Structure formats: structure tokens, C-alpha cells
Structure 1
Amino acid sequence: MTIRRKTMALAGATLVAGISLAALAEYETLVELGYPAPREGELVHVPPTMQDLDEADIHPELKQVIRRGHDLFTNTQQLRGENVFNDMNCSSCHLGEGRLPFSGPVWPAAVTLPDFRGKNQHVNSLEERLAGCFAYSMNGAPPAYGSDDMLALSAYHQWLAKGVPMYPDQPIYGRGFPRLDEPEQAPDYARGEQVYLEQCAICHSKDGSGHYQDGKYVFPSPWGDGSNNWGAGISRTFTMASFIKYNMPLGQPMSLTDQEAWDVAYYINSQERPQDPRYTGDVRETRERFEATFHKHTLYGTERQHDGTLLGDHANMGEKKEMLPWNLGVPRFEDLKD
């Protein structure tokens, strides 16, 4: 009966070669929790685990590098003060060690990059995509391209993609944070605050400062100096709403209605956070410059619904003492345009 349910749920989907029925049990559990089943034509991949790495027939030194990448991914705070300037780990947004569908699983990046990225309007490599996470989500400065840490993180991403063809033709099941339909009612600050207090504050605190134990954070800050800056992808309301719907409250995914997810996302993203590293010195000018490619989906540079505060109108960079250099958005291949 279990095998039959799996077969029915995955009917018409394309399974990556070598995928086992035991591994597919992960997906059956997701469907039972209310996640969408794979659709016909979608590519289904269950990423290998660290136990699989132990048993893999690859060079021991490569295993060490992949393990280092996993360690950095799940405990990025070890780079705090050098590459990370907030309370986040990579796994704060990419749950389940970056393996979980509908939670921004990271392995698709390894098989779909290089590719054009609208956010910075040029073709990005895997390393540049990782650099973006450090510059925005970690409110930090990325490890140098080609450095040991960047190589380790890249290796971990590629290990998770083991067996998947490069540039797959099929849509990938559970990729990213699948966008929710537009809400029936416009997102509302007051409704979102109520949902936050009832469903989120127990882990993330009423003031959004997160939860700490023995000086170490257990649950991250959804806003404030310990959170992502205004340039992070999750500062887009539709991205935050999707992340919340499919992943929150922790252990109770899919328990909020779509409207509740939109409302609480709107509330969270109406709070202040560190400055966008692309800041020109004027928030309205910065919004206008990057509105078409990014900020049209954020509340940055707009007046907050309930009190008229101009969001992002500050030079606060969180723990960073200065606006650190960043290497994103730099024009590439200008000669090809001739």
C-alpha cells in the first residue's frame, strides 16, 4: 500500500536515476503533511545525506571538503565578524540542511547555473549566487572567489545535486519558495501582527529579536540588526509569504491559510532591518534605481501602512562598521554587446 501511494503521488514525474523507495518516503511524508504532490513532467530528486557521503566511493579528501561545506552551511555563524554580520545561518532559510523541497533547496543552483539573474542583470556563476547570500541574507561580505570556504560550499551544493543532469528540461519539484496565489484581500499590517503574536512570537520574540540560549541563537531574528538586510530576497513580500506558508510555524507547515501567510509576511517585512548594501545615500533614489529588478516587491522606500514611517530611510548597517565592498551587479561581457 505504501509503495502504491508513492507510485500514485509520483505518477508522471521524472525520477532522478538511482533514487530509492526509502528515499521517496521523504516525499510521501511531505504529501501527507499537505504539500503538493509532484506534477506530471516534474523532476523529482531526493538529495543524498551526509550518511550517503560516508558510504560514497569518492576520494577521502573530497569527502572532507564536502563535510566542511555542510558545516559552513549549517553553522555559518562560525564566520561571524568576517563574512557574516547578523544571526543567520544558510540553513535558517534553506531548511533541512538545504535539502527540503519548498524551502529553497539549494541543489538546483548547482545544475542551473551559470544563468542570467534578473536581480543584477547578468549571468551569474554558482559562486556569485553564494556571494549574494552573504551580501544580503547574511548582511555580510562573501568569502573570496576560489577560497577554501567558497569551494567547500560549492562542493556541498554539487554533492546534493548528485545524479541530476545539468540544465534539466523539466521543472523541478519543490524548487525555491513556490509563489502563492495573490491574496483575496490586500495584505494588512494589523492582521499580520495578530498572526505573528499568536503563531510566531513564541520562537522569534515579540520584538523580532529571535530566541537565544546560552548566548547562541536558536531561532533567527525576522527583523532588526540580527536579520537580513533590505536587499535580501526574503524581504520581498511574496517570497516571505511563500516561505511562511510552506515552512512555518516550525513543525506545522501548511497550517496557516494563504491570507494569513500574506498578512504576517507583510507585517514582518514592514519592520526595519539593516540597509541595502546598494544604498546610494538616499532611500527613494535607491528604490527607484533597483525598483524594476527587485524593490517593486519590497516595502523598502515606502511609507509604512500604520504610521507613515519611511522604511529604509537610515544608514544603519547592523553590526557592520562600514558599507563593505560587494561584487554584485557589476556589468559583465560588455564587449559582447558590440
Structure 2
Amino acid sequence: MIDRIWLYRGVLAGVLSAVAGACLAASGDMAALPAFSAQAPASSPVTPFAPPAESSMPTDGFGKSAKLGEQIFTHTQTFAGKYVGNTLNCASCHLDAGRKADSSPLWGAYPLYPAYRSKNGHVNSFAERLQGCFMYSMNGKAPPLGDPVLVALESYAYWLAKGAPIGEKLPGQGYPKLPAPAQKADYARGSAVYAQHCALCHGADGQGQSSGGQTVFPPLWGAQSFNWGAGMGDIQNAAGFIKANMPLGLAGTLTDQQAWDVATFMDSHERPQDPRFLGSVEATRAKFHDSPHSMYGQTVNGQVLGASGSR
């Protein structure tokens, strides 16, 4: 049987071959000042971090754990289904099996932990950060610390980050932060952008597409998407991801304004309830969503978002 991972990549390769390739721009940084020089440092391009080639993954006990982590990452429902509550995979938002810059790559996240997170008010280990992904983005439940699923994902992330500096920001980590839009982000304009650039893959109803029981293009709202506590529910995060990565194979072709507008449209639809729900939408918004970048608790098309989200 053809390995599911290569089947998944083959599907994406077919999509990518049908559209124009994307170009990624390398970031710049200041070169080191030469010794005894009074001259200002000259700028030189920073070489983007490159994770190790898949062919170099070891085959020993650690390598087997890392390989399992890759399988969990790309086919999360299949390999970690008891912890997943929707049809997404980790790779739905962290593209190219967690390798792609500007789509919150694993090699960019691993070296930044342990770190304090305001989301839960304490220092998180990388394993605890992964637990949050299952709770929010996967709308599921957190694997216990030490669970083989978490260990495998940590192993894969550790291997991808081989050679990356610890605790330093690297080009391509996380999602890009777009400047504020020239015009206030608008639902109606976003709807038009979605119909023109997104619906072909994600469906007019936002429910995505699957093939052979495997999600190919993820649902963007509704019961099978991420819940209200997920990072992609923040319009700023979604706009940065969309600008850098969407449409698939045509990254960077949307304007900043279009990215903000379509992110607002996407995040203005109902989805599963925030697991931190405090008993009312008002209290939950005040505690966790008091931000202009969150649509939770806002009224759109006569509906209070979050009021009908299932728990």
C-alpha cells in the first residue's frame, strides 16, 4: 500500500503543478562589523534556516519516533485520532509537514520553548504547547504528558530544528505580522475575495475537500474546523498566514488588504466553542477575546458568534 504521507504529498503536488509556483523572499540582517573598522556595518542577506532533508532522518530508535511524529503531523486523525475532534491535520496550518517558512514551521517553534504564554499565564514546555494545539486547533483533548503521541511530535520537531539557534527569532518563524490595513477589514469585501480565490479548494460553504477519507483542503469554519480558542481564530494571525501562503501555490498574490478582508470573513463564521467557556459568551469574550482581532461574541448577520458553538 502506498504510504499515506506520500499520497498526501502527491495530491498537493498535483495541485501545485496546476498553478504558478510561489517565490519566497529571503530576509536581511546586518553583517558583523569588521574588526577595528569605524565604518557602519554593511547589510548582507541572512541565509534562511533549512531543516534537514527527509532522507537524512535516522533509522534508529529516535528516528522511528521522529518518523511517527511526521506521520502524526501529516495524518493526525489517523495516527492520533483519540485526541482529535475535527478533520484537520497539524499540516493543515503548518504546511509542508511543518517545514515551510512563514506557516509556523516546527523548526521555528521548538527552539523558542520553554516560554511564558499569556494565553495560559505561565511558562510552557514545548510538550504543553503541543497539548494546546490538540485542545484548540484540533478541537480535541490534550494527550497526557509523556504520551507516545507527544513524544513522537517532540522528536520530529527536535529533528527538524537540528542546527537552529536556541531562543532566537529566525526568518520564517510563526506567521508574518501584516501592517494594519489601509481600510478597516470588511466582511463583504472578504466574501468576494473568498469566492474568487479560496472557494475552489475550500468550498463555497467553507467545509473543505477530502479524498479517500483524508482531508486535502481543510474546513475553515463549522463543526469540523478549529474552535474559537485556536490561534487561527485571531484575524491578525489568519491574515498573516493567508498573505504568506494562500492561495496554495500562489502565495503573496493577494494584497495585504485582501488578506485582512478574507481573514475577517473566515473568522466571522460559527465554529466549535472555546474550551475555556465561562458559561456565557459575554464573560468568555471579556476574559479571553477582548481584542479587535477576535470576532467571538460579535454580531454578524444577526448572529452572536460563539452563542451556538458546540462544546
Q: Is TM > 0.5 for Structure 1 vs Structure 2?
A: yes
Equivalent pair of 2:57/2:63 in contact (CA under 8 Å):
yes
Equivalent pair of 2:26/2:48 in contact (CA under 8 Å):
no
Closer, same or farther: CA 261–315 of 1 in aligned 2, 3 Å: closer
Q: CA deviation at 1:73?
A: 0.6
Equivalent pair of 2:109/2:174 in contact (CA under 8 Å):
no
Q: How does 1:177-256 map to 2 (within 5 A)?
A: 177-256=175-254
Please say if 1:37 is aligned against 2:31: no
Encode CA deviations 1:123-148: one digit per residue, 9 max, x unaligned: 00000100110000000012111111
Equivalent pair of 2:271/2:309 in contact (CA under 8 Å):
no
Paired with 2:143 and 2:294, the residues of 1 have a C-alpha distance of 27
Please say if 1:300 is aligned against 2:296: yes
Q: CA deviation at 1:301?
A: 0.8
Q: CA deviation at 1:186?
A: 0.6
Question: Which amino acid in structure 2 is aligned with residue 36 of structure 1?
Answer: A
Equivalent pair of 1:80/1:86 in contact (CA under 8 Å):
no
2:306 equivalent in structure 1? 312
1:225 partner SS: coil
Paired with 2:141 and 2:110, the residues of 1 have a C-alpha distance of 21
Equivalent pair of 2:234/2:267 in contact (CA under 8 Å):
yes
Q: CA deviation at 1:79?
A: 4.6
Q: CA deviation at 1:218?
A: 1.6
2:28 partner SS: coil
Which deviates more, 32-41 or 104-113?
32-41
Q: CA deviation at 1:149?
A: 1.1
Encode CA deviations 1:73-107: one digit per residue, 9 max, x unaligned: 11101156510011110000000111111111111
1:272 equivalent in structure 2? 270
2:114 equivalent in structure 1? 114
1:70 equivalent in structure 2? 70
1:260 partner SS: helix
Paired with 1:110 and 1:215, the residues of 2 have a C-alpha distance of 31
Equivalent pair of 2:26/2:47 in contact (CA under 8 Å):
no
Paired with 2:104 and 2:68, the residues of 1 have a C-alpha distance of 21
Equivalent pair of 2:270/2:308 in contact (CA under 8 Å):
no
1:333 equivalent in structure 2? none
Q: CA deviation at 1:43?
A: 7.0
Encode CA deviations 1:4-40: one digit per residue, 9 max, x unaligned: xxxxxxxxxxxxxxxxxxxxxxxxxxxx945332211
Q: CA deviation at 1:108?
A: 2.2
Question: Which amino acid in structure 1 is aligned with residue 236 of structure 2?
Answer: F
TM-score by length of 1: 0.78
Q: Alignment partner for residue 255 of structure 2, among 235, 254, 257? A: 257
Paired with 1:291 and 1:218, the residues of 2 have a C-alpha distance of 30
Equivalent pair of 2:239/2:263 in contact (CA under 8 Å):
yes
- Structure 2 spans left out of the alignment, 5+ residues: 1-20, 31-45
Encode CA deviations 1:198-248: one digit per residue, 9 max, x unaligned: 111111110111112233322110000110000000110011111111101
Equivalent pair of 1:43/1:172 in contact (CA under 8 Å):
no
2:99 equivalent in structure 1? 99
Equivalent pair of 2:91/2:98 in contact (CA under 8 Å):
yes
2:5 equivalent in structure 1? none
Paired with 1:250 and 1:315, the residues of 2 have a C-alpha distance of 29
Q: CA deviation at 1:302?
A: 1.1
Q: How does 1:40-189 map to 2 (within 5 A)?
A: 40-41=29-30, 44-54=48-58, 60-79=60-79, 81-168=81-168, 171-189=169-187
Equivalent pair of 1:107/1:160 in contact (CA under 8 Å):
yes
TM-score by length of 2: 0.85
Paired with 2:150 and 2:220, the residues of 1 have a C-alpha distance of 26
Equivalent pair of 1:220/1:227 in contact (CA under 8 Å):
yes
Overall identity of the aligned pairs, in %: 44
Question: Which amino acid in structure 1 is aligned with residue 104 of structure 2?
Answer: G
Equivalent pair of 2:114/2:123 in contact (CA under 8 Å):
yes
1:278 partner SS: coil
Q: Superposition RMSD on alpha carbons, in Å?
A: 1.7
